[in-house]
Structures are given as C-alpha cells and as structure tokens.
Amino acid sequence: VKGLFFHKIGSFLVSSSDNLVISKMLGIITVGLYSNYYMIINSVQTIFNQLIQSMTASIGNLLVTEKKEKVFDVFLKIRFINFWIASFSAISVLIIMESFINIWIGSKYLLPTGVLIVLCFNLYQKLMRNTYLSFKEASGTFHEDRFVPLIESFLNIFFSIILCLKFGLMGIFLGTVVSGLALWCYSYPKYVYKKLFDRSYKEYALSTLGYIMCFIALASISLFLSKIYMLNNPFLEFAKNVGIAVLIPNILIIVALDVISEKVDMINQGISPIKDNYIEDYLKNKNLNLKATLDYKEAFEGAKFVIISTPTNYDEETGYFDTSSVEDVIKKVVDMKLNTTMVVKSTIPVGFIENVKRKYKCDNIMFSPEFLRAGNALYDNLYPSRIIIGEKSERAKEFANLLKEAALKEDITIKFMDSTEAEAVKLFANTYLALRVSFFNELDTYAELNNLNTQDIIEGVCLDPRIGNHYNNPSFGYGGYCLPKDTKQLLANYKDVPQNLIEAIVKSNNTRKDHISKMIIDHHPKVVGIYRLTMKTNSDNFRASAIQGIIERLVKNNITVIIYEPTLKTKEFNGYKVINDFEEFASVSDIVIANRLDELTESIQDKIYTRDIYTRD
C-alpha cells in the first residue's frame, strides 16, 4: 500500500510540476497558451491509456496460469499494439494540432513548432509506458521501485528549470522527457523485463531504441509531407493534415511489420539462413534459378504453383493450430485473382483445406504434406520417402511430377488421396514417430531404474525385422517444431472419438522429462551445465527442444543452470547464462547433461549425464 501511495504521489507531482515551472519562469500568459495544448494532449492520453490498462486484470491471470515464454509472447504482441497506438496518437497530434488551433482560436495562440515536437515525443513515451505499467501492476510490483516516481518528479523540476534557462518553454518539456529516463532506464528493464521474463538488459535496450527510432522516422516523414505544400484555406489545410496523420504512419507501420529482410538477403547472397549441409552446399556451389523477394506480388505473379510453407504453431487455449499465416497467403492469392494453384505444405488440422475452400470461395488449393528432418530438409526433398498429394486431379499429377523430377532418388512412391486424408496422414505419421521415441524412452527408464543394460535390450528387441534397428536411440523426450504440436493437434481431433494411446503418447513425453530431471536432482548438483539446446545432430534448431523442459524442472528445484550452445551469439538465453568457452563451461558445472554426445563431451565423461547410446538421432 505504501509503495502504491508513493507511485500515485510521484505521478501527480510529475504531471503538475510543468505548469508550476512555466508560471514561475515564463509567466501566466505562457501557461494559458500551453493549457490549450495540454487539454487536447491530455484527452488523447486519457482515452488511449484506458485501452491498454483495461487489460491489467487479464494480464494478472496470465502471469499466474502461463509459462514465462507464453507471457512474454503476449507481452510483445501487446507492446506492438501499444506502439501503434502511441505512434499514431503522437503523430496525429503533431500533424493536426497547429491547423486545429488555427481554426479553433486563431494563429496568435500557436506555440513554436519545436515545442510541439517535444510535447508529442513526450506523449509518445508516456503512452508507451502503458504496456510496462500494466504488466508491472498485474504482478503487484509497487514496493521495489516505490521511490522511482518521486525521483522522477524531482528530476523533472530540476532539469526543467535548468533547460528552461537555455531553451525557454521547449526546455521545460525537454526536462520532462529527460526525467522519464528514470523509468525507462531503471524501473522497466529491472522490474518487468528482468523480473517477469528473465530477459537481458541489452535485449530491452535494443528493442526500446528500435521502437523509438521507428517512431522518429514515422514522425519525420509525416511532418515533412505535411509541410511540403501548405494550403491557404485553413479548413482544407486541416483536412489535408488529418489525411496525412491517418494514412502515412499506418501504411509505414504495416510495411515494416511485413518486411523481414535478413533471410531474404542471405538467400540472395548464397548463404543458408538455417543449419543444413545440403542447403548450404546448393546455395553456395550450384547454379540455381532462385531469387528471394520481400514483394509477395512479385513472387506470386506468373507462378503455376504457389507453395505455402508458413509456420502453424499449436495454440494451447484453442486446442488447434494457429493457421492465420497460411490463411493470410491464401487471401492474398485470392485477392490477386491469379490463375494459379496453391499448395499448402504447412501442417494443418484435419479438414482445413475443405474449410478454406468454402471460406474463401476458391477451389484452386490442395495439400501436400512434407516429411522433413531438422538439418536434413533439402536431403529429404531430394531423396523423399514418399510423395503424398491431397487431391486426385491432373494438376495434382503435374505437381507430383515436379517434385519427382526435382528429386535425385529414382524409385519414389507417389500416393494421391483427398485433402482430408492427406492432412490425417501427416498427423498420424508424426504421432507414430513420437510413439516410437516414447517407447524406447520408457524402455530406457525401466532399464535405468532396475540397473539393466539398455543397449542390450534395445538391440535384442530391434533384431525383429518388423521393428527394425532405427529410430531407437533414447533421448530426453521428443521435441522440435513438429512432434509436440502435431501429437497435441491429433489428440484434439480425437474429441468424441474413443482412444487411449494418443493421449498416452502426449503424456509420456512429460513423464520422461520428469524422470530425467529427478535422476539429475538426486545427484544434488548446485550447477548443472546444459550441453547444447539443439535436438538433432548437425542442427541449429532448438525450438521446443525437450531439454528446455528439463531446464524448467531443474530451476524450480533451485538448481543453477548454465548453457553451452555455440549457435547462440548472446550471453543469456531466457535468463540463463550462456558460456561458449567449453573448458570454462565444463569446469563450472557439477554435472553436464547432454541429449546427444559428440567429440567434445568425450573429455568430460566423468561429469556427463546422458541417455544417448548410439551418438545419432
């Protein structure tokens, strides 16, 4: 309660001190001029504050019920919406204010444009606080930074007086901006970014500066366009400025959101954006007719087939894949009215293709699942186990032949079926792989707890040709981008269908992680080293890797975790220290856990905990 009291007092002092300084330093007439601007700016700020702060209760529930990664993902989305609101509001005030004042009470009541620019930047940074304030308040963090608002208010008065002597009225508002650094440089990175999300100060600084630079660029372009041609009629000038304020910043924000140029540049330079030996070799050494572009119209126009391979993450709340990225591409193709066939390669729920055909009133779309391993994506396209096409038609045969002609493997089985069956094939295939991983993991759990030789048992079992000596190396659990989400999606599709096995496959993965964690915890280590976050050998992909589940369990038992992961260029990962000097990493760790062994781990066998037998996937 005391902390909340200090926050309220500090906020009141900051908001009221500007008028006091203006009246004392510049006189009551200047206060009157400023009050016209303040009334409008404060109204805008009050309206938009409510939009973000109204979510505080929901955020509080999210903090209690969800993992940090999920909460941080929601935080980033809310912050982007907040940025759009803040930049749009501040730029609108910047562009429209002078022409509005001119119509309302006359040009003699205008403040200098420099003052307006500082006022609008101050409005932007105040509105951008809302996301941080909502998460901080939802977490109940008031006591730790209770003195920060008071310090901000004192700094505001101090810098406003000093800068007023140099810059006049603009200096007073510059003092308000400078005093706000107390929150931006201390309170938000420490009590939101670090405390709630275990994210680094560097990441916070880079993202905050990125948003500021984007706002400055948007505001500069909008202001330049508004001043390029001034109209003599004040009403027409006002209408022109409203149009600029509404259209220009929003168009530029949408373009920036859709453009991620790094991977495009890498591909055009012959550099693979992912770790894959075949892709690296082909981009570097083969004469490929390949061009990457940021312009979807350039990519789609004239194409016989538009292949859609966007990510479809599993949404735990809805129990289904998030197919919005796939539908976004479908809508663009439909809107362009192209004579083309869309081929969805993304993993999708059973029945998705039929649903989108009805939704978008189009028939030029089919499904063809891909069966690719991390680190071997191109190899698995050149030497496919099979080609599945979710349609029985001439265009389906044409597309299948394209895949076959592009492959190096000669004898390839091609299977045509309806789209719904093809969607089921993908989910059932990956669920079977998850079942096989889980089977050998539970075999290993039994052997470990009963002091049996896992390798002898596995090899004895796998001599049966019906089982086969493959995909049988114990691990910390199945992970990666496909198996965890695909098994959950298939289980969701089993609603109202009798089953036991599918649910058991999903639960088995958590049971395996619990067992591995317990075996490590029973050694009572103070520091556990994580050797590689990646799931697969020769891969740089560690999305949803099983070892991250182990990390969470260890940290809950107050065990310090450090990470060795050469693909990471940062000193932290999700708040955990990254040490990429292997000797230092090994010396600091009491135990090193490795999902897969390699040459480096041979030197620290006395510290290693692993269930890897064959040093392969």
Just list the catalytic residues: 482
Q: Where are the beta strands (DSSP E) in 136-284?
A: none
Start-end of H helices in 451-532: 454-462, 483-493, 501-521
Strand partners, 167: none
Half-sphere exposure of 376 (CA within 13 A, CB side): 13
Report residue 528 as tokens: 């556990």
* Of 94, 8, 1, the residue nearest 44 (C-alpha): 94
Q: Are 307 and 333 in contact (CB under 8 A)?
A: no
- Do β-strands 341-344 and 527-531 pair in parallel, antiparallel, or remain unpaired? unpaired
Strand partners, 562: 529, 577
Local structure of residue 603 (DSSP, 8 states): G
Q: SS3 of 479, please?
A: coil
* Residue 363 neighbours by CB under 8 Å, 6+ apart: 357
Contacts 24+ apart (CB under 8 A), 396-400: 396/366, 399/305, 399/341, 399/343, 399/366, 399/368
Strand partners, 608: 592
- Do β-strands 320-321 and 314-315 pair in parallel, antiparallel, or remain unpaired? antiparallel
Please tell me the distance from the alpha carbon of residue 541 to that of residue 567, in angstroms, as a whole number. 9
Q: SS3 of 53, please?
A: helix
Please tell me the distance from the alpha carbon of residue 486 to that of residue 459, in angstroms, as a whole number. 29
Please tell me the distance from the alpha carbon of residue 604 to that of residue 607, in angstroms, as a whole number. 6
Q: Are 321 and 398 in contact (CB under 8 A)?
A: no
Q: State residue 284 phi and psi, 5-degree precision.
A: -85, -40
Please tell me the distance from the alpha carbon of residue 251 to that of residue 217, in angstroms, as a whole number. 13
Start-end of H helices in 316-418: 324-336, 352-359, 377-382, 394-406
What Rg, from alpha-carbon coordinates, does the chain have? 30
Report residue 40 as tokens: 């409008």
Q: Which residue has the tokens 């038609």?
A: 393
Q: Is 264 exposed, middle or buried (0-12, 13-18, 19+ CB in 10 A)?
A: middle
- Do β-strands 341-344 and 305-308 pair in parallel, antiparallel, or remain unpaired? parallel
Distances (CA, A) of 311 to 167, 314, 371, 390, 402: 52, 10, 15, 19, 23
Q: Is the dihedral of CA 86, 90, 92, 93 positive or negative?
A: positive
